Chain A
Amino acid sequence: MTTTTTQIAARAVDLVKTYGSGGTTVQALNGVNVELVRGEFTAIMGPSGSGKSTLMHCLAGLDSVSSGSVSIGDAELSGLSDNKMTALRRDRIGFVFQSFNLVPTLTALENITLPMDLAGRKPDREWLDTVVDTLGIRDRLGHRPSELSGGQQQRVACARALASQPDIVFGDEPTGNLDSRSSAEVLGILRSSVDRLGQTVVVVTHDPRAAAYADRVLFLADGDIVNEMRDPTEARVLDLMKNMED
């Protein structure tokens, strides 16, 4: 259990992201200000084109920002070289994508330790065992991704995200390709990583049921945060979304 709930894991200040140039400019983020609290599970929601994915990409150092600033912990992202940015993603951020999470030529275990292997670091065995056992994938470690089910693949991806004990774990529609049972498993894993391990998790989703696992839900529309909800339930999220559309 953690006691640093008030600390900020990631922050965006006046974040603007525009695509294209000249007459065809599209403003995806319109001066977003947000603070993501350490040890919390945050869900980002919003309709298609609201900028929810762009916000996550910018916060996670996957995409550059047009103006404003983004920081992970005490590290300011804007102005970092590609190498520093890559090292930051590798060492301080965990990722769970919707698909294409795993390298097909590596085993599940090799995929889990990939960020640490890339850094040339030895994984913490004890922690690795904890993660692997918590996720229930011990008997799958020697398998290649093609030998795993979709749910198993996402659990391995979660294990990779958690194994390096990152400052923050980002999920981009992590359950988008899963059936409801596997979805519940993966979300349960992320939830318990927050509760039991004190992890910080940010998930982009369009699924109210997924958002209900979070401590806090941020609603985006037209490139800005328009609403926020704490301790959401599926029904309240659905209600709010309906209201937003009206």
Chain B
Amino acid sequence: MARRPMGRVSIRNLRAHKVRLILTVLSVILGTAFVTGSYVFTDTLKSSFTGIFNDAYKGIATHVEPAHSYDAGIPFADLATIRRVPGVDRVAPGVERPAALVDSKGTKVASGGAPSVADTWTVPADRIGDPTRFESGGPPTRSGQAVLNAGAAHKGHIRVGDRVRIVLSNRPVLTLTVSGIYRTKTESGGYIGVLLSPGQARQVLSDGRHYTSVDASAKPGVSEQELTARIAKVAPSGLTVETGTKLRDDTNAQIQTALSFVNYLLLAFGFIALIVGTFIIYNTFSMIVAQRLRELALLRAVGASRKQVRRSVLLEALFTGVIGSVLGIVGGVGLAIGLRELLNAFNVGLPSGSLLLRPRTLIVALVLGVGVTLLSAYIPARRASSIAPVEAMREEFALPSSSSSTRRTILGLALLVLGVVLTVLGATSSSTSHGSALIGAGLLGVGGAALMLSPVLARIVIPPIGWVAGRPFGRPGTLAPANAVRNPRRTAATAFALTLGLLIVSGISVIGASAKGSVEHLFDNNVRADLVLTAGQQGTVPQPAIDAAAKQSGVGSMTQFHLAFGLLDGAEEAGSGIDGPLPAVLALPAVSGSIAPVGNNLVASESKARERGWKIGSMHTLTHPGVGSVRLKLVGIYQDSQLAGAWLVSGATYRALTPANERAAEVGLIRIAPGADLSQVQSRVEKATNPYYVVSVDTRTQFKGQIAAQVNTLLGLLYALLALAIVIAILGIINTLALSVVERRREIGMMRAVGMMRRQVRRTIYLESFLIAVFGALLGLALGIVYGVLFTKLLKDQGLDVLVIPWTQALAFLVVAGIVGVLAALWPGVRAARTPPLAAIVDA
């Protein structure tokens, strides 16, 4: 029975300190939940995507595709060549093109971030992998028929027999009858795949001469490598011939890279929660130990060894850590589900596989959760064990505090100097990547210094703020700031959650606001167009839509920008092909020569010309392998412009190098005719482009608004981070205040005895909390804004040439922090106010 007396003491203590332990457990839960959620979410996505692609690529031994995305592809004739290669079993060609799907009611079916494509139906004889399974209907048997994947069909409420439309870049909108709805093994949320009959697909999707890819399977006994080597021998040059394994590996690697951002972001949430959790756990155990000093001393007096006392405290920490971590893991799984649902609600289109909880996730979460708890409880545990047995008999208790504030300050100052030096080096660096790495390292140093020095800073910053904020409250108003800096280390640790949160949020909001401001500035100063034609974020404007818009009355001029990729003198480059007058829609000051991209002219930006050593009059070759090449003469150099990009060629050059079926405009810019009414022209152009479904026609103001909205959506993510920082901060403040209230119990009792009203006690606590929160917020805002400005300046060449500091937003953050402080103090305040006056005299 009595073999483990100290263990029993630990468990009984856990029960006795429920409320306080709930806070501790909560902070462990928050941290481990984000770590778990991050892994579960990304693991699940990775495995789902891997499943999708492994399924889609099942049985493929060799994959052939053009070496560059702008290359023509695999000539029709070479399909027969590949078929004849010994060991080839089946060969499936593809003619995939991006396509928007429009349902029978004329509404575009959204794919979110997932691909929306049209491709060819692979006849069963050529089908590699498992045969296609139909949910309803059957394969397309003739031109004008198509099959749809089940996900897209459900989303658009499309049934077999419905007439749907697909919008391609350079064709009239195509009307198709749905002959069947097929199933993919793992349905990705947003993916749209329309498959046309092979004949029609070749006719409307290809350039009439090339496939975009060819897959081959191997006969039994022929290895992937063998088959791939054989096909590579006969394939024309300019093609990539790779094994099915390589194709699957590459795709998986791409998924990993794409998801790592999400992974890191969520892990960052988790680590912030755990760092702040460390303080909370430390505080909680300090508080429990402080309250139990006499009891611990008694245990020592009756024969418990130091080790046993230390262990009993650590055992409590172990229980707390395990409970918190287990609950955190459960919460993390919930978080992963919630995140997927949330993202799917925004049509992001994530696959819906079953959740994947890898052993690694469990181990990391448990080790982190329990480890952080034990580590944070170690100092209080050691302090507990250092209590002399004789203390049990003493009247007064003073916790032996481990004071090394001078060492801490010196370390902080050293870090500060290091951080500032790195930052200055970074800010004055000429290279963006070097500079940002240096500033990032500097930020780490300065952030660490802020943590080290914030006890000192609290003593400097809080009294004046407290003096101002406390004035209306009389004596309680002056007690609060004094209390807030009584244990500056604790105040600093408590405020750090808000400091960290606001540092990140305000820093990024400076960059975001500057990005928005820069784009608007750029647009205001350089764009002269009255109307802008675009097709969503990734889409291109179909050529016929542009042509129809240009014909409307009131349209003075139409200028199109085409995306021109290619090998320029052998090196891959991206520029634009221009149709229509340039100066009418875009201000582009010339540095030398004439900047009219007409005929076989090439004009380049100043920095591109310098980079490649181009001079006016020099000759260059732009090549699209498999399509052709054009000799160009550099006739002008313009000032660098975000809108014009690196170089410009004529629309004729673009068309000479781009197969007819791929031609499209990135953007169409309209200048209205003199005297024409803008809104009338806009509605006429809208009417003319409506049959193409994907085109939006915006005035300059509307377009700027759209860009601003995009930046705002991104900044919206930040508010999630801020919300988390606030939740953690509230937990931390509640914890710290509860600790302070317990420690000051006799003092509060005495003040109650000599006449402090309950509401005055509460106000003192609210104000103290408000000051802690505002201090943390101010520190975070100051650092965030400074570093936001530094990063913005560094990114000047990337187009962030207008610096905008969102002061109103910063002020709002500060107000929110103050409110959070008061909210967090509600419960501790009420608790403190309940202190009976007799607490001053007896241990009541």
Contact = CB atoms under 8 A, between A and B. Distances in A.
A104 to B, nearest CB: 7
Interface residues of B, number: 28
Contacts of B675: none
B413 interface: no
Interface stretch (A26-34, A70-78, A117-125, A188-196): A117-125
Contact of A115 (B747, B754, B758): B754
A9 interface: no
Interface in B781-840: 836-838, 840
A118 B753 contact: no
A82 B751 CA distance: 14
Contacts of A104: 486, 747
Contacts of A140: none
Contacts of A95: 753-754
B841 A98 contact: yes
B758 A82 contact: yes
Contact of B747 (A98, A103, A160): A103
Contacts of A103: 479, 747, 750-751
B756 A86 contact: yes
B475 A89 contact: no
B747 A117 contact: no
Contacts of B756: 86, 90, 118
B202 interface: no
A83 B486 CA distance: 28
B757 A83 contact: yes
A89 B760 contact: no
Interface string A90-115: 11000101111101111000000011
A87 interface: yes
A179 to B, nearest CB: 16
Interface string B316-350: 00000000000000000000000000000000000
Contact of B482 (A86, A106, A120): A106
Nearest to B482: A105
A172 B651 CA distance: 98
A62 interface: yes
A95 B842 CA distance: 15
A77 B148 CA distance: 85
B486 A105 contact: yes
A87 B750 contact: no
A101 B750 CA distance: 7
A206 interface: no
Nearest to B480: A105
A53 B841 CA distance: 10
With a 10 A CB-CB cut-off, give which of B486, B750, B755 has the most chain A CB atoms.
B755
Interface in B731-764: 746-747, 749-758, 760
Given A99-B396, A105-B486, A83 B754 contact: no
Contact of A57 (B483, B751, B841): B841
B760 A118 contact: yes
B754 A105 contact: no
A86 B842 CA distance: 18
Interface in B375-407: 395-396
A100 B475 contact: no
A29 B100 CA distance: 89
Given A57-B841, A97-B841, A89 B757 contact: no
B474 interface: yes
Contact of A89 (B476, B483, B754, B758): B754
A63 interface: yes
Contact of A83 (B396, B483, B746, B758): B758
With a 10 A CB-CB cut-off, give which of B751, B756, B841 has the most chain A CB atoms.
B841
B746 A90 contact: no
Contacts of B746: 100
With a 10 A CB-CB cut-off, give which of A89, A91, A120 has the most chain B CB atoms.
A89
B757 A87 contact: yes
B758 A90 contact: no
B822 to A, nearest CB: 21
Contact of A62 (B396, B474, B837): B837
A119 B755 contact: yes
Given A62-B838, A62-B841, A105-B483, A97 B750 contact: yes
Contacts of A99: 395-396
Contacts of A106: 479, 482
Contact of B754 (A57, A98, A114): A114
A15 B744 CA distance: 32
A98 B750 CA distance: 11
B751 A117 contact: no
Given A62-B838, A105-B483, A117-B474, A90 B750 contact: no
A105 B694 CA distance: 69
B488 to A, nearest CB: 13
B482 A118 contact: no
Contact of A118 (B395, B475, B486): B475
B753 A62 contact: yes
A115 B760 CA distance: 12
B193 to A, nearest CB: 71
Given A120-B474, A172-B841, A86 B751 contact: no
With a 10 A CB-CB cut-off, give which of A62, A97, A172 has the most chain B CB atoms.
A62
Contact of B755 (A98, A118, A172): A118
A97 B839 CA distance: 12
Nearest to B752: A86
Contacts of A114: 475, 751, 754-755
B755 A100 contact: no
Given A57-B841, A120-B474, A87 B758 contact: no
Contacts of B842: 53
Interface string B455-498: 00000000000000000001110010011001000000000000
Contacts of B483: 105
A121 to B, nearest CB: 10
Contacts of B838: 57, 62-63
Contacts of B841: 53, 57, 62, 97-98, 172
A46 B401 CA distance: 39
Interface in A10-32: none
A57 to B, nearest CB: 6
23 contacts: A57-B838, A62-B837, A83-B757, A86-B755, A86-B758, A89-B755, A95-B753, A95-B754, A97-B841, A99-B395, A100-B840, A103-B747, A104-B747, A105-B482, A105-B483, A105-B486, A115-B754, A115-B755, A117-B474, A118-B474, A118-B751, A118-B756, A118-B757
7 tightest Cβ-Cβ pairs between the two chains A and B: A90-B755, A105-B482, A117-B475, A115-B755, A100-B746, A62-B837, A115-B754
Given A82-B758, A87-B757, A105-B479, 16 more contacts: A53-B841, A57-B838, A62-B753, A63-B836, A89-B837, A90-B755, A100-B747, A101-B750, A103-B479, A104-B486, A105-B483, A106-B479, A118-B474, A118-B751, A160-B754, A172-B841
Interface of A: 53, 57, 62-63, 82-83, 86-87, 89-91, 95, 97-101, 103-106, 114-115, 117-120, 160, 172
